[in-house]
């Protein structure tokens, strides 16, 4: 499928949006009511996505979406147009037959449409990366993708291979890689505007496949573990169009890419490693591996003294249990940063819920008798909070930091709102809004 901007065409169906009422058909016109949950950015995107699904069910070949007079020009492009660009996405890279309909959208090229296209393109690019299977999307693949984006946009980039990572002393990251035949890569991208007013560092979790290591997942638990790279893919999605959107901030993108596999050389429950920060970690569960890679990535990121440090990670199943599969857990040590992310998420129609980061009782669980901390609790309770508190240990005092546990909303087993089955690209548009204000 493709979306074409223009004037009204002679299509099989014309979708006309109405303020309220029932879905009905009048000749070639499909009258479609607009959702009203009280969140306009969500309602408008969701409405046009539902309308597209209804049109598909009619088995037609073409459709025109007509702008109603009661919708503003800005809302029509930023929410409806972006919504259709998101909703028409499908991952068909490995399908031998491809189907679709011609989609025409009432409008013209302008600033609003261009921003909507860039937001959707970044999101769909991220969806493609997350959906790409682990035999193709290896750590090297992610590093090369970052290199291609940087070359195209003129970003600075540093790519550290295994020898570099060993030299840097990123032993927590390396421990996760011990059981894999795929080489690890540590990637650092940098966008530099003229006279930046501050510095933002994004860190993404980049497990291209997570078997659980020796703490092996079930076969069912492994089926979708290509999504464990979603945080890093979101960072790459942000950087894909960051230059064109522009930002007053210097922006860094960092990720530590590896697989987590079982092997005779794999890290064992009970092993102790010295992290990049110098702090020691007892690894009691090798399936709590993302926080090990992030520990070194966050400590490295702090050396650049960012005004804001934000990590995105499919960190815990506990976050999904707590909030469901549609909402990300947000932890932060700074109220203004957390509120800024939530405001941006509301515009982007992505759901975040702030979680507690000051729990002294769960913090006590980090302690272990033979290292500075252990990577997992000995019980099931408060797992998302435990993971956030663990990461906080590697964030330098005084740095404004947010941790986004997006394990739930990054992947769908069935379509919801403007998100198709598979990867959703969650987090990209919220970060773009937060960083660029566009």
What pLDDT is recorded for position 354? 98
Asked if residue 372 and residue 318 are part of one domain, the reply reads: yes
Catalytic pick among 217, 243, 268, 396: 217
d(CA 434, CA 438): 8
**Could you read off the pLDDT of 345-362 as tens digits, one per residue?**
999 999 999 999 999 999
What pLDDT is recorded for position 97? 86
CA–CA distances in Å: residue 166 to residues 161, 276, 383: 9, 10, 30
**Could you read off the pLDDT of 385-410 as tens digits, one per residue?**
999 999 999 999 999 999 999 999 99
Asked if residue 123 and residue 63 are part of one domain, the reply reads: no
The tokens for 215 are 């703490």
Asked if residue 93 and residue 122 are part of one domain, the reply reads: no
> Is 35 one of the annotated active-site residues of the chain?
no
CATH code, 252: 3.40.630.10
Reply yes or no on whether the pLDDT at 382 is more than 90: yes
d(CA 43, CA 349): 9
Among 73, 88, 109, identify where a domain stops: 109
**Could you read off the pLDDT of 185-203 as tens digits, one per residue?**
999 999 999 999 999 999 9
Residue 221 in contact with residue 330, Cβ under 8 Å? no
CA atoms lying within 13 Å on the CB side of residue 272: 11
Helix segments in 276-415, DSSP class H: 290-302, 317-323, 335-348, 360-364, 383-392
Backbone angles phi, psi at 244, to 5 degrees: -70, -35
Asked if residue 187 and residue 73 are part of one domain, the reply reads: no
Reply yes or no on whether the pLDDT at 418 is more than 80: yes
Per the structure, the complete domain to which residue 16 belongs is given by 2-109
**Could you read off the pLDDT of 88-119 as tens digits, one per residue?**
999 999 999 888 899 999 999 999 999 999 99
What pLDDT is recorded for position 1? 67
d(CA 215, CA 286): 5
CATH code, 60: 3.40.220.10
In sequence order, the 6+-apart residues with CB closer than 8 A to the CB of 344 are 430, 431, 433, 434
Residues found in the chain: 438
> Is 74 one of the annotated active-site residues of the chain?
no
Asked if residue 251 and residue 227 are part of one domain, the reply reads: yes
d(CA 226, CA 410): 11
Counting the structural domains of the chain, the total is 2
What pLDDT is recorded for position 94? 93
Could you give the maximum distance between any two Cα atoms of the chain, in Å?
A: 75
**Could you read off the pLDDT of 268-323 as tens digits, one per residue?**
999 999 999 999 999 999 999 999 999 999 999 999 999 999 999 999 999 999 99
Asked if residue 154 and residue 219 are part of one domain, the reply reads: yes
Q: What order of strands is seen across the sheet that includes strand 24-26?
A: 2-6, 102-106, 62-66, 13-18, 29-33, 24-26
Asked if residue 359 and residue 216 are part of one domain, the reply reads: yes
**Could you read off the pLDDT of 56-70 as tens digits, one per residue?**
999 999 999 999 999
Asked if residue 291 and residue 182 are part of one domain, the reply reads: yes
Catalytic pick among 291, 351, 365, 374: 291
Closest CA to 123 of 245, 19, 216, 237: 237
Asked if residue 126 and residue 8 are part of one domain, the reply reads: no
Percent of the chain with pLDDT over 90: 99
| Beta partners for residue 354, in sequence order | 330
Asked if residue 133 and residue 213 are part of one domain, the reply reads: yes
d(CA 325, CA 355): 16
Asked if residue 94 and residue 124 are part of one domain, the reply reads: no
Closest CA to 201 of 105, 283, 305, 274: 305
Among 76, 109, 142, identify where a domain stops: 109
d(CA 166, CA 125): 31
Asked if residue 129 and residue 77 are part of one domain, the reply reads: no
* C-alpha dihedral sign at 319, 88, 84, 26: negative
For 254-263, what is the mean pLDDT?
98
Per the model's pLDDT, the better-predicted residue between 98 and 237 turns out to be 237
CA–CA distances in Å: residue 213 to residues 136, 290, 380: 20, 12, 19
Among 62, 77, 109, identify where a domain stops: 109
């Amino acid at each position: 499928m493709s979306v074409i901007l223009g004037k009204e065409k002679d299509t099989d169906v014309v979708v006309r949006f109405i303020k309220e009422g029932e879905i009905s058909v009048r000749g070639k016109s499909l009258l479609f009511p607009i959702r009203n949950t009280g969140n306009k950015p969500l309602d408008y995107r969701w409405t046009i996505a539902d309308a597209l699904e209804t049109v598909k069910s009619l088995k037609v070949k073409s459709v025109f979406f007509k702008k109603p007079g009661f919708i503003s020009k800005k809302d029509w492009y930023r929410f409806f147009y972006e919504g259709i660009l998101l909703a028409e996405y499908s991952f068909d890279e490995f399908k031998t037959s491809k189907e679709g309909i011609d989609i025409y959208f009432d409008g013209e090229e302008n600033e609003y449409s261009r921003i909507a296209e860039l937001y959707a393109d970044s999101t769909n690019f991220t969806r493609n990366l997350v959906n790409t299977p682990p035999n193709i999307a290896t750590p090297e693949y992610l590093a090369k993708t970052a290199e291609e984006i940087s070359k195209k946009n003129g970003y600075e980039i540093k790519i550290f291979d295994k020898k570099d990572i060993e030299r840097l002393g990123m032993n927590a990251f390396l421990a996760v890689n011990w059981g894999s035949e795929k080489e690890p890569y540590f990637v650092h991208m940098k966008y530099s505007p003229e006279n930046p007013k501050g510095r933002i560092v994004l860190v993404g979790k980049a497990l291209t496949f997570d078997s659980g290591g020796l703490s092996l997942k079930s076969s069912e638990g492994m089926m979708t573990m290509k999504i464990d790279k979603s945080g890093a893919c979101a960072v790459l999605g942000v950087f894909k169009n960051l230059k064109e959107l522009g930002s007053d901030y210097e922006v860094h993108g960092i990720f530590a890419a590896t697989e987590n596999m079982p092997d005779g050389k794999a890290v064992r429950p009970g092993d102790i490693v010295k992290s990049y920060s110098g702090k020691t970690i007892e690894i009691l569960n090798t399936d709590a591996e993302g926080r090990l890679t992030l520990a070194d990535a966050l400590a490295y990121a702090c050396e650049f003294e960012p005004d804001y440090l934000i990590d995105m990670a499919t960190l815990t199943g506990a976050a999904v249990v707590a909030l469901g599969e549609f909402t990300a857990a947000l932890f932060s040590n700074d109220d203004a940063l957390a509120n800024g992310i939530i405001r941006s998420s509301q515009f982007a129609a992505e759901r975040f819920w702030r979680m507690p980061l000051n729990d002294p009782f769960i913090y006590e669980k980090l302690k272990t008798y033979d290292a500075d901390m252990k990577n997992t609790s000995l019980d099931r309770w408060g797992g998302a909070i435990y993971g956030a508190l663990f990461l906080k240990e590697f964030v330098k005092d005084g740095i404004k930091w947010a941790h986004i546990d997006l394990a739930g909303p990054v992947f769908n087993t069935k379509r919801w709102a403007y998100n198709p089955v598979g990867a959703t690209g969650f987090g990209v548009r919220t970060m773009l809004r937060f960083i660029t204000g566009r």
